[in-house]
């Protein structure tokens, strides 16, 4: 059985798949790949099943060594890729012989890169998923140098494509579609206009739980706090300081701060690739 040895992790590397479903009543969120689109593309290229686990790499810096021959691909935020010091490409099938070392540099744009291996990362599932949930502390630990990750059985079908052209990922400014509610009545009309007219900036305090945004304060029309209620990915929750937090993959399943709007689920991969310093504009979802 082949495996991947972690040599270096960069700022953070985790194991992710499509997430764990059906456990919200237990206080367990879905988790899974923050950029589900790039994760799915990586598995599709290698003919893996959609639920196969990949490595989610934040701002590059990952180095892995093949223990046994493996076939891999790199998707998501475009990063310099090297195999044993020689340049390689993203969105391309790469064959690594035993002992070969693959390294990822820092992406010029975007935030999260995905490394998939043919057969998937075969760590033990927890509640039906191999995803690392950094908020709940479920799944495999955040990866560290020296970790050895087993690779699952190779699919019968060959890789589907040698190279996949994709649209650029990451930008200095992104637009995210939103629908007001469910608690827009807790905010003034001025706050509604501010949300849709002004720009916010992703701060360095962001993580897989949520993107913390800096920008104009959203004024409340109600005092006090709500009883805790269910939260979803894409919820724009507004704490007392008035600056919204955009919930991402590892968001809490409940919260007591009011949600002024929710980002369209199709735009969540864009949100997941917004690195600190990115300007975010919210536009009505029609």
pLDDT at 283: 98
Identify the band that residue 63 occupies on the pLDDT scale cut at 50, 70 and 90: very high
> What mean pLDDT is predicted for residues 135-152?
98
Report the percent of the chain where pLDDT is more than 70. 100
- Contact call for residues 251 and 231 (beta carbons, < 8 A): yes
pLDDT at 1: 86
Query: Which CATH code fits 173-284?
Result: 2.40.100.10
Residue pLDDT, tens place only, 77-109: 999 999 999 999 999 999 999 999 999 999 999
Check whether 162 has a pLDDT greater than 80.
no
Check whether 181 has a pLDDT greater than 80.
yes
pLDDT at 250: 98
Check whether 223 has a pLDDT greater than 90.
no
Identify the band that residue 8 occupies on the pLDDT scale cut at 50, 70 and 90: very high
> What mean pLDDT is predicted for residues 44-54?
96
Residue pLDDT, tens place only, 185-205: 999 999 999 999 999 999 999
pLDDT at 51: 96
Task: Return d(Cα 203, Cα 207) in angstroms, integer.
Answer: 10
Give the number of other Cβ atoms within 10 Å of residue 166's Cβ.
Answer: 14
* β partners of residue 246: 211, 236
* β partners of residue 92: 163
Q: What angle do CA 96, 5, 275 make, to 5 degrees?
A: 90
pLDDT at 211: 98
pLDDT at 164: 87
Query: What are the phi and psi torsion angles at 266 (to 5°)?
Result: -65, -20
> What mean pLDDT is predicted for residues 239-258?
96
Check whether 265 has a pLDDT greater than 90.
yes
> What mean pLDDT is predicted for residues 213-234?
94
Domain edges within the chain? 3-150, 173-284
Lowest-confidence pick of 26-30, 58-62, 80-84 = 26-30
pLDDT at 163: 80
> What mean pLDDT is predicted for residues 114-131?
98
b/e for 234-266, b at 16 or more Cβ within 10 A? bbbbbeeeebbbbbbbbbbbebebbbbbbbeee
Check whether 160 has a pLDDT greater than 80.
no
Check whether 161 has a pLDDT greater than 80.
no
pLDDT at 114: 98
- Contact call for residues 31 and 19 (beta carbons, < 8 A): yes
Q: Check the CA dihedral 23-26-31-36 and report its sign.
A: positive
DSSP secondary structure of the chain: --EEEEEEE-SEEEEE-S---S-GGGT------SSHHHHHHHHHHTT--TT--EEEEESS-EEEEEES-EEEEEEES---EEETTEEE-SSB-EEE-TT-EEEE---SS-SEEEEEETT-B-PPPBTTB---BTTTTBSSPPP-TT-EEEB-PPPSSPPS-SB--------SEEEEEEEE-SSGGGB-HHHHHHHHHSEEEE-TT--SSEEEEESS---BSS-S-PPPEE--TTEEE--TTS--EEE-TT--SEESS-EEEEE-GGGHHHHHT--TT-EEEEEE--
pLDDT at 84: 98
């Amino acid at each position: 059985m082949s495996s991947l040895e972690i040599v270096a992790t960069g700022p953070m590397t985790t194991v992710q798949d499509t997430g764990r479903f059906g456990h919200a009543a237990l206080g367990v969120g879905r988790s899974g790949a923050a950029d589900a689109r790039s994760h799915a593309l990586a598995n599709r290229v290698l003919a893996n099943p959609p639920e196969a686990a990949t490595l989610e790499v934040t701002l590059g810096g990952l180095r892995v060594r093949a223990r046994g021959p493996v076939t891999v691909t790199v998707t998501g935020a475009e990063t310099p890729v090297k195999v044993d010091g020689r340049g390689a490409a993203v969105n391309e099938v790469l064959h690594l012989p035993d002992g070969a070392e693959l390294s990822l540099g820092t992406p010029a744009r975007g935030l999260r890169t995905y490394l998939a291996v043919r057969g998937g990362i075969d760590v033990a599932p927890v509640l039906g998923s191999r995803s690392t949930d950094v908020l709940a502390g479920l799944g495999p630990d955040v990866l560290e140098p020296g970790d050895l990750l087993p690779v699952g059985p190779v699919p019968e079908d060959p890789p589907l494509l040698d190279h996949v052209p994709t649209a650029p990922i990451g930008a200095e400014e992104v637009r995210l579609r939103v629908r007001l509610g469910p608690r827009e009545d807790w905010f003034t009309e001025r706050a509604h206009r501010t949300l849709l007219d002004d720009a916010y900036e992703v701060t360095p305090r962001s993580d897989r739980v949520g993107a913390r945004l800096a920008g104009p304060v959203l004024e409340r029309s109600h005092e006090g706090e709500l009883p805790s209620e269910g939260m979803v990915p894409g919820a724009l929750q507004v704490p007392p300081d008035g600056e919204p937090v955009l919930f991402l993959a590892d968001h809490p399943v409940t919260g007591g701060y009011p949600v002024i709007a929710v980002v369209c689920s199709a735009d969540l991969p864009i949100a997941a690739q917004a690195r600190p310093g990115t300007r975010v504009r919210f536009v009505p979802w029609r």
